[in-house]
Amino acid sequence: MKRTINKALSAIYFFCTAPLLAAEYEPPRTQSGKPDLQGYWTNASLTKMERDPNYAEYGLVFPSNLVPELTADHPQVVRQQTDDNQAWKELPDGSDLARGRGYNAFWVDPGQNFAVVKGEVRTSMVTYPNNGLIPYSEEGRKLRRENRAKYSGILSDQVTMGTDGPEGRALGERCLIGMGSTGGPPITNVRYNNLYQIIQTDEYIALHIEMAHDIRIIPITTEYRRTNMTPWFGDSIGHWDGDTLVVETKGLHPLHGERHYVAALSEQAKVIERFTRHSNEQILYEFEVVDPIYYEEPWQGEMSFNASNLPIYEYACHEGNYGLIGILAGARQLEQED
């Protein structure tokens, strides 16, 4: 019964949220005449950066007649319906690191529907290459393997977990910036905390990100910083191209490549982001990544920010961050046993 209801709701969602594609859409404007991007937005969806192999046959866009069934069968949707009362009679022994999960379904909120972009239900954020996969270079694949191993704790002779001190752990674990790439560039969604607030003046655009209480302040200018500073989110500058806000970012922090995320960037990378008010309820977000170190060629993607009536509540990370303490304490225990 639940599955039937979910299919029906998914169909209603698709037909009701597909944005108007009429070229004559007139966005709300600020007093100076620029499109008004302000408000609360969310990019939560079942669609992720790369295309799941299970959806490869569909290309970029799902057939509309299959959307309700594919939504109802998605593992995340099934988990939300069945997994809240998971109970374990025995403590995990460490052989299956994902068994205990750490979060039950109550705490996970990635979205209940696939992303609708330009009226199409998308299989991936990546639009180029056409296969929906990020074109990693050999160096990029190596970095990805290392980051995933460090983050998961699955180690080898080539990869060791950084447990000498907090500096060896992932940036998100240390509460420096959010997990994944919720702040970008490029911006993507994660399993929870997918809300954004945009604040806009003629001189600046500020992106307030729910995850880790991050914020990007983007000046409307043609000149980058004249210092050697490398902010966590890079050195971003913005300009208006008609009704589209274009943000160009370079000068990324050296540790950007160590994030546990599919789109780590080197210090030579440049990212171009485009924000366009596509309808009253949606902002179209487009991006291009150029990085000769970690990727074989430039790659591109799109997603939607959907209007939300939910505010952003305070995000507390350091408070109660017992996971980091436990990891380091466990390493000290292993050292004593050796």
How far is residue 130's CA from residue 114's CA, in Å, rounded to a whole number? 19
How far is residue 312's CA from residue 315's CA, in Å, rounded to a whole number? 8
- Intra-chain end-to-end CA distance of the chain, in Å: 55
Residue 316 domain-assigned?
yes
- Neighbour tally for 67: CB within 10 Å: 20
Residue 56 domain-assigned?
no
Residue 302 CB-density burial (10 A; 0-12 exposed, 13-18 middle, 19+ buried): buried
Residue 218 domain-assigned?
yes
More confident residue, 66 or 324: 66
Check: CB of residue 109 under 8 Å from CB of residue 79. no
Residue 80 domain-assigned?
no
Digit-coded pLDDT (tens) for 288-326: 999 999 999 999 999 999 999 998 998 888 887 888 888
Helix axis angle for 75-82 and 2-17, nearest 10°, is: 130
Q: What string of DSSP letters covers 247-305?
A: EEEE---GGGGGSSSTT---TT-EEEEEEEEEETTEEEEEEEEE-TTTBSS-EEEEEEE
pTM for this prediction: 0.86
Residue 110 CB-density burial (10 A; 0-12 exposed, 13-18 middle, 19+ buried): buried
- Give the pLDDT mean for 36-42: 98
Residue 46 predicted with pLDDT over 80: yes
Residue 103 domain-assigned?
no
Residue 68 domain-assigned?
no
Query: In degrees rounded to 5, what are phi and psi of residue 246?
Result: -110, 125
Residue 98 domain-assigned?
no
Bridge pairing between strands 235-241 and 244-250: antiparallel
Check: CB of residue 209 under 8 Å from CB of residue 182. yes
116: number of CA atoms within 13 Å, CB side?
24
More confident residue, 158 or 250: 250
Digit-coded pLDDT (tens) for 241-290: 999 999 999 998 888 777 656 778 998 999 999 999 999 999 999 999 99
Range of the domain at 147: 31-50+126-337
Residue 148 parent element (H or E) = helix 138-152
How far is residue 216's CA from residue 200's CA, in Å, rounded to a whole number? 12
| Structural domain total, the chain | 1
CATH number for 215: 2.40.128.20
- Give the pLDDT mean for 147-163: 61
Digit-coded pLDDT (tens) for 96-142: 554 445 566 777 888 999 999 999 999 999 999 999 999 999 999 98
Which SS3 state, helix, strand or coil, does residue 224 take? coil
